[in-house]
């Protein structure tokens, strides 16, 4: 498990909005990792084999974010598929995590030419919708190095809709800067005895168990309860 996406710009923004009560009690949370790669590429992640496919590649980030926000679900139902011609590994997933008064939808596909919302969150006081991905990964791939003053800044803001009485107020909501360096600084401090592990091993194990339970759910086409 790699937990850097707890420090994504958009996720930090969602987490802050939930924590400060701006959305009220969250009833529905939807999170997407959608891409458009209609051709199967010759790389191990897209070939048949252990750990291949986007359920292992992308879904762990979404599961980790959801559990970080809401804790473990009561049950989950997962659909896994190979939608592209010639696909040998999972290139589509749709997971529904059920809580007593909340539903969490996690979705990923390699066949989305149109842009999907990254987050859709509905609560008792309002809603938040965000498009676009955190820019940190792309900047690292492009060879950028830290420190940089504008590191982690996401130029695409979300939209926050709040209802106050009979009035509905919609406003552009500034996206907080992402901060992958904080993750590694936390690991450094933990190794040096100067702080706690930012992601305890027990939390990583929880996500691995959810990944495997999701595979069983898809295999049996069933909603499975957590023990």
Using alpha carbons, select from 104, 78, 98, 93 the residue that is nearest to residue 214: 78
State the sign of the Cα–Cα–Cα–Cα dihedral 7, 10, 13, 18: negative
Residues 6+ apart with CB under 8 A from 32: 106, 107, 108, 116, 117, 118, 119
Q: Where are the alpha helices (DSSP H) in 80-179?
A: 136-141
pLDDT at residue 63, as a whole number: 98
Give yes or no for residue 12 having a pLDDT over 90. yes
Which of 132, 216, 218, 219 has the alpha carbon at shortest distance from 173? 132
Q: Whole-angstrom Cα distance, residue 153 to residue 20?
A: 21
Percent residues over pLDDT 90 in the chain = 91
- What the chain holds in terms of domains, given with CATH numbers, is 4-225 (3.30.360.10)
For 89-119, how does the pLDDT look when each residue is reduced to its tens digit (9 = 90+)?
999 999 999 999 999 999 999 999 999 999 9
CA distance 74 to 71: 10
The pLDDT of 116-139, averaged and rounded, is 97
pTM of the full predicted structure?
Answer: 0.94
158-186 pLDDT per residue, tens: 999 999 888 999 999 999 999 999 999 99
Q: What is the pLDDT of residue 146?
A: 87
Question: Given a cut of 80, is residue 1 above it in pLDDT?
Answer: no
């Amino acid at each position: 498990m790699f937990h850097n996406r707890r420090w994504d710009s958009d996720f930090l923004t969602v987490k802050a909005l939930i924590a400060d009560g701006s959305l009220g009690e969250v009833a529905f949370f939807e999170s997407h990792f959608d891409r458009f790669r209609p051709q199967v590429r010759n790389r191990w992640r897209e070939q048949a084999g252990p750990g291949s496919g986007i359920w292992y590649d992308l879904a762990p980030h979404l599961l980790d974010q959801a559990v970080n926000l809401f804790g473990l679900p009561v049950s989950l139902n997962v659909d896994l598929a190979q939608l592209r011609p010639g696909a040998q590994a999972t290139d589509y997933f749709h997971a529904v995590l059920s809580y007593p008064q909340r539903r969490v939808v996690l979705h990923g596909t390699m066949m989305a030419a149109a842009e999907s919302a990254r987050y859709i969150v509905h609560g008792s006081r309002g809603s938040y919708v965000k498009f676009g991905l955190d820019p940190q990964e792309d900047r690292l791939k492009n060879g950028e190095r830290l420190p940089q003053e504008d590191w982690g800044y996401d130029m695409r803001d979300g939209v926050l809709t709040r209802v106050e009485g009979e009035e509905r107020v919609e406003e552009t909501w500034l996206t907080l800067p992402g901060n992958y360096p904080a993750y590694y600084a936390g690991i450094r401090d933990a190794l040096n005895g100067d702080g706690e592990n930012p992601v305890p091993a027990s939390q990583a194990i929880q996500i691995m168990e959810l990944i495997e339970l999701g595979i069983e759910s898809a295999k049996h086409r069933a909603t499975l309860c957590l023990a």
